[in-house]
A and B are shown apart, each in its own frame.
Chain A
Amino acid sequence: MTEEIIIAGFGGQGVLSMGKILAYSGIMQEQEVSWMPSYGPEMRGGTANVTVILSDNKVSSPVLHSYDTAIILNQQSLDKFEPNVKPGGLLIYDPNGITRHPEREDIRVFVVEAASEAAKMASAITFNMIVLGAYIKVNPVVELENVIKGLKNSLPERHHHLIPANEKAIQRGMEIVREAK
């Protein structure tokens, strides 16, 4: 198994930390992992993306030209990465702020209304965990139990009290994700 994932959105949406939790979850599941961010001025509120690779084999290139899964959180990222999903691959996106929706018919497209759900849960910081929940529901490449372990490892001790809220958000994401029409 090798799963090549791009997660892309605005800086501040938790793109990089979501990727980190996913990578840690992979380690908990004894997978080989790599996490490669876009870095630089993007970090200050522009677009941010991270490539995460989970594999049973040693990861070769951390840099990719196409992806098994694209997790998309803004319009710019959708425009940029939709063409790079492998045929038969997966695209998950939050329609919040999206005006041009995915058009490809040779990939599976899923919708997770994470922004509005996070607003309902009155916790913007759980936004990325809702998205993560949606992903592991559609493609259970890592088990929920390992995601929770991954969370514990990637969060500093002083933030461990937030783990239950994050777990709830992941579960909510698993519930609300739906296939796009």
Chain B
Amino acid sequence: MSVASVNGKREWQRYDGKQGLLRWVLWLIGAAVFVWCWQKISAGTEWSFVLDAPEQGADILGRMVPPEWSYARVLLRPLWDTLNMATLGTMIAVVLAVPLAFLAAQNTTPSAEFARPFALFCIVASRSINSLIWALVLVMILGPGVLAGTVAIALRSVGFIGKLLYEAIEETDHRPLDAIASTGASSGQIISYGVVPQIMPVFAGIAVFRWDINIRESTILGLVGAGGIGLQLNSSIGNLDWSRVSVILLAIFATVIVSEWVSASIRKAVT
């Protein structure tokens, strides 16, 4: 912040000359990069397809309405499968993530040279691959079906739960731990009486939050053959059966909203 004299009058300015120049240059670079990116995108775009999008959209929307409501009855089973993939996947992930988190947290890791980097690597690898890609790989190994989807959800969630959990462990108050340690407790006892009670509410919140995300993700895993409502969606889109697609989309929308509500109210209750 500085005061500059403009036409002999003193005026307040937010940035002084050097700062202002630096900001201006950074904005210019950003804009140039954006223009370059945009040129690349537009070079690879068939603009005639884009321009008739409103017509296409109106056409699809016209076919979507009215939805074929009777199809909803067929969707109950896939919805149950979807729910199972998300829930069982989250449960498996929780079982796998808890030990990883304790290995990764600075204050509970048994060895900072070996165990911690290993656990961190597992967490990062799991987090950076989307569940759809996990499903793509697992469908090839385990065959199409609910199991591939469940394992895909689990593998993706391990990283998420592990990361948030180990951060929670690192943030625990160390005084109770010191107190328990001074009574001669073993490290297992310190964890179960000192760390666990502190992270339990956070942990429950993380698990439920991830479950909510998993419901959303498991609705689409069927696109690559991993079971659930996505299978129906994929075949309906493939058959250009738009009146069924709209029913499926509505079902997904409703499921996601209900799960979000459930997760929000549980999280409010525990924290």
Q: Is chain B a partner of chain A in the same complex? A: no
Q: Which residues of A contact B (CB under 8 A)?
A: none
